[in-house]
Amino acid sequence: MSIIAAHMNRWHDNDTIAALATAPGAAGVAVIRISGPDSLAVADAVFRCDGLKPSQRPTHTLVVGRVMAGDEFVDEALLLIMRAPRSYTREDVVEIQCHGGLPTSRRVLRCVLEAGARPANPGEFTCRAFLHGRLDLVQAEAVNDLIRARSERAAQAAVEQLEGRLSARFNAIYDAVIGLAADMEATLDFPDDELPQPVIADVRRRIEGSLGDLRTLIATWNEGHCLRDGLQVVIAGRTNVGKSTLMNTLLGRNRSIVSEVPGTTRDTIEESFILNGIPLVLVDTAGLRDPQCSIEREGIRRTRRQMEKADLYLYVVDASQPLHPDDVGNLNDLSDENCIIVGNKTDLGIKFDHSTTIKKDYCETSLIHNVGIDELINIIKNIIEHKFMSGHGQRIVISERHRKILVTTLEEMEQAQALLEQELEESFVLVAGHLRAAAEMMGLVTGREYNDSLLENIFSNFCIGK
């Protein structure tokens, strides 16, 4: 059981927490963040400065002084005071900016904890910001997305989400569904022969509109997956066709061992790669052939497993030879939309007949001479943009958590729509029930409705200092 699961009541604690808010390790500055009702008292206990004590100073004051462990000097530091509600958590917050490096930052944090604060749980500062109304859950998730962004494009999507653009879309749907549920429940008070038909027609029209909004948002999941998780691009093919050379060429450095000896790559090799603002995970794999030993057999098994979960395949063939029967079988197992055939070794002549695989994208290369690589990169870009990216300009994209909730909401709405189409007045109570369930699901997205389990699921993925 995780620490958070064991202490979920702490999400609602009103005590004072502290943590290192910057990455541990060698750095010019480390920041220890303190939040809670006793933050200023803790600052008084550990920080010495000329003039007034920290607790006697106004909000948003920066003070130079010394961190002390009793009478022992620990470090020279700056102390920033942010009084509630003008802080990240909307509590009293104090940040101590000391010298970087693990020994110093740990000593300063130890002083703070000994003065009365407790160690913060992962994401607890941001959770308090949510509980105190500074952020909704969608914006809170954007904080984590921004910290973990692997490209500028991913960071921009997180910024737009943090600004509340995605929340506004969710809230509009929530308000619409709540209104629909209320109107349907109101119809239950009418006698059967006095039910105003224009109301039902209006509800039917509004349900259709909300269904359209839900489907539009669900369609952005692919782009969200790209930006948050990165696309897995698997380089596959038979032995000695140039898979490792392709990996090294795309990365611009020698990451995989290249050798004329068949079966050099025995395990999968992964490396991050940013293409057109999209994070990719390139995976070099063992050559597909009849294994010569148990080690190679395991490598091929791992190759097959990687191919099963890949978003995009770069299947390398020796274009100087006719297509091998094993390649035919392997290519038949791969989607035409997600597979690019890389015909390598064209400097040795071309005997590969692309007409047999015409449905798949194809690029001729001579990787040892760096020929065809620009064309291949453009093909990869085009597939990513057309298949995975929405192209709507603003990066309004949903996460997997959002997608699951939206799909369930959509199902409830579709059931309400189907019952309404029957035009049976006795089914209106069921219509109202499905609409109410849909509204409750939408409330889970932004946190209008939440429970401790939901908070743990979201904030346990944060770093401790955030």
Helix (H, G, I), strand (E, B) or coil at 353: coil
Whether residue 369 sits in one domain with residue 317: yes
Q: Is the pTM of this model over 0.85?
A: no
The mean predicted confidence, pLDDT, of the chain is 85
For residue 226, give the nearest of 391, 461, 409 by alpha carbon. Answer: 391
pLDDT in tens, 95-147: 999 999 999 999 999 999 999 999 999 999 999 999 999 999 999 999 999 99
**Residues facing 363 on adjacent strands:** 342
- Domain residue limits at 73: 3-136
Helix and strand numbers (H, E) in the chain are 16, 13
- Distances from the Cα of 300 to the Cαs of 2, 232, 239, in angstroms? 36, 18, 11
Whether residue 333 sits in one domain with residue 189: no
Whether residue 408 sits in one domain with residue 370: no
Whether residue 191 sits in one domain with residue 89: no
CB 263 within 8 A of CB 286: yes
Whether residue 382 sits in one domain with residue 414: no
Whether residue 132 sits in one domain with residue 25: yes
Residues 6+ apart with CB under 8 A from 61: 80, 81
Whether residue 371 sits in one domain with residue 316: yes
Determine the angle formed by the axes of helices 221-229 and 152-162, rounding to 10 degrees.
120
Whether residue 420 sits in one domain with residue 349: no
Pick the residue with more confidence: 466 or 410?
A: 410
**Rounded to an integer, what distance in angstroms lies between the CA atom of residue 221 and that of residue 223?**
5
Identify whether 124 is part of a domain: yes
Provide the domain count of the chain.
Answer: 3
Distance from the Cα of residue 442 to its chain's centroid? 19
Give the CATH number for residue 162. Answer: 1.20.120.430
Give the DSSP letter of residue 393: S
pLDDT in tens, 351-386: 988 877 777 889 999 988 999 999 999 999 888 888
Give the pLDDT confidence score for residue 5 in this predicted structure: 39
**What pLDDT band is residue 266 in, cutting at 50, 70 and 90?**
very low
Identify whether 464 is part of a domain: no
Identify whether 461 is part of a domain: no
**Residues facing 340 on adjacent strands:** 314, 361
Whether residue 367 sits in one domain with residue 247: yes
Identify whether 465 is part of a domain: no
Whether residue 184 sits in one domain with residue 326: no
Whether residue 262 sits in one domain with residue 206: no
**What pLDDT band is residue 237 in, cutting at 50, 70 and 90?**
confident
Whether residue 239 sits in one domain with residue 216: no
Between strands 93-99 and 72-82, the pairing is antiparallel
Among 58-67, 223-232, 315-324, which is the least confidently predicted range? 223-232
